[in-house]
Structure 1
Amino acid sequence: MMEWYCEYHRFHFQNLVFTFRGSRLIPSSTPLSLDFPARSVIDIYEINTYKYIKQQETLARSKKLAELDKYAKDAELLQAMQDKQEARARSQGQGQGQDQDGVGNNTKQGGHDEPVEVEDDEAEVEYLHIKLRGKDTTDEKIRVKKTTTVFAILSHYKRIKKISADTPVKLEFDDEAIDPSMAVGETEIEDDDMLDVRVG
């Protein structure tokens, strides 16, 4: 059938690709082996066009898988934070000056002059004191562990500034954006450093 088509239209068989329902046909294929219905449509492509289409399909599939992988990692990160919150709430109870993510809520005397503590659930850990400066040039002082994620810091900043949860916010250090999934210890942030918060 394929050879007949090429001879009838004077095409070189090697330059064409025949497909049925998205699958490439081979010369030995028969209607019976492919379970052709009474009426079938066979798509015919010039070989370079077929290769290009397949490349685009592969790129689209890879992009989709990368997006799904990112969403899965974000979901795992959020679930881990929720699990830590629940465990902390059970062990420490409520009403001890912490918000729902275990971040101190700056209610000590002196207001913003006292550093807020992020993820303080261990006795013997190394802390870094950092400042967050937003568009209003107001500094928010926080104390974090090296295992604290940038995502947790941004979530805390959104709460104290009453920023909507779906508003894009990023943290910059030396004019470079920091990956939210990174822990503080994985960055070049040091004690007493100033970080810029970009909203929107």
Structure 2
Amino acid sequence: MEKALKAFSDHFSVNVIATDPVLMMNSMRVFPTSTMASLGIRPVYYVSVYPRSVFNREREREALERARRAMEQEQARRDLEMAQTLQRSVDATGGQTLLVDDDLHGADDSQMGLGMLPGDTGKSVRIKIRDKSGKDTLLLVTTSTTVQAIIDNYVSMAGLGDKVTVTLEFDDERLDPGSTIGDTEIEDDDMLTAFWR
């Protein structure tokens, strides 16, 4: 292979050897000391030659791409698990479920669970409630869930007690406790802010 590289360099007036080349054939690394016999008997050999800096950049790019794909697959797996859990809870309660999932925020098992909301029907909507400390609580509600039902469940899950008055805001506007999610412009993955005194 060294002789082939030298001939290539001489023919094209490019000093390939000065680039500390990396040789690849069929996704397999080939070393300059390799002979044609060691590569197997073939009528034609196609060997890709990369300057080492280009080869190293390409390998780094491939590693980053693999890491990105792995993160996307892990996120998709978590999303699927959550969707299955939500669906099971909705199925088990005939569509009358508010699911609180603090798993991503380090909550212990006592802070996670199901709150039953009577009469919930309609399209499911995922929302996030952020409190004044910055802690997020993920909820699955339906378009017929009232704001008051969300407040009551949130007070219970956050352990705030009966004497605390909680209000929810969306886009800096206070939500009417008597309205339903369907009455508002709240959509999947929107964030509400919780205030209490």
Normalising by the smaller structure, the TM-score range is 0.5 to 0.7
Q: Are residues 90 and 64 of structure 1, via their aligned partners in 2, closer, same or farther at CA, if it must alter by over 3 Å?
A: closer
The letter for the 2-side match of 1:192 is W
2:121 equivalent to 1:116? no
Would you say how many aligned residue pairs link Structure 1 and Structure 2?
A: 147
Matching residue of 1:47: 52
CA contact (8 A) 1:18 1:24 kept: yes
Q: CA deviation at 1:163?
A: 4.8
Residue among 53, 64, 79 paired with 1:74: 79
2:161 equivalent to 1:138? no
User: 1:25-64 alignment to 2 at 5 Å?
Assistant: 25-27=30-32, 29=34, 34=39, 38-64=43-69
The one-character-per-residue Cα deviations of 1:146-198 (angstroms, maximum 9, x if unpaired) are xxxxxxxxxx95x4525555xx5234x5xxxxxxxxxxxxxxx7x827xxxxx
| Distance in structure 2 (CA, Å) of the matches to 1:118 and 1:56 | 47
2:145 equivalent to 1:105? yes
Structure 1 stretches lacking a partner, 5+ long: 107-111, 143-155, 174-188, 194-200
User: 1:165-184 alignment to 2 at 5 Å?
Assistant: 165=188, 169-171=190-192
2:37 equivalent to 1:15? no
| Distance in structure 2 (CA, Å) of the matches to 1:7 and 1:24 | 19
Q: Are residues 134 and 60 of structure 1, via their aligned partners in 2, closer, same or farther at CA, if it must alter by over 3 Å?
A: same
Q: Are residues 91 and 60 of structure 1, via their aligned partners in 2, closer, same or farther at CA, if it must alter by over 3 Å?
A: closer
Q: Does the residue aligned with 1:55 lie in a helix, a strand or coil?
A: helix
Residue among 177, 192, 196 paired with 2:196: 192
CA contact (8 A) 2:90 2:96 kept: no
Matching residue of 2:184: 161
| Distance in structure 1 (CA, Å) of the matches to 2:29 and 2:118 | 66
Q: CA deviation at 1:12?
A: 3.4
Q: CA deviation at 1:39?
A: 3.3
TM-score of the pair, normalised by structure 2: 0.55
Q: CA deviation at 1:11?
A: 4.5
TM-score of the pair, normalised by structure 1: 0.54
Matching residue of 1:179: none
Matching residue of 2:3: 4
CA contact (8 A) 2:167 2:196 kept: yes
CA contact (8 A) 1:18 1:44 kept: yes
Q: Does the residue aligned with 1:24 lie in a helix, a strand or coil?
A: strand
The letter for the 1-side match of 2:184 is K
| Distance in structure 2 (CA, Å) of the matches to 1:91 and 1:116 | 12
Q: Are residues 82 and 31 of structure 1, via their aligned partners in 2, closer, same or farther at CA, if it must alter by over 3 Å?
A: farther
Q: Are residues 61 and 160 of structure 1, via their aligned partners in 2, closer, same or farther at CA, if it must alter by over 3 Å?
A: farther
Q: CA deviation at 1:25?
A: 1.2
| Distance in structure 1 (CA, Å) of the matches to 2:25 and 2:55 | 13
Matching residue of 1:145: none
CA contact (8 A) 1:19 1:43 kept: yes
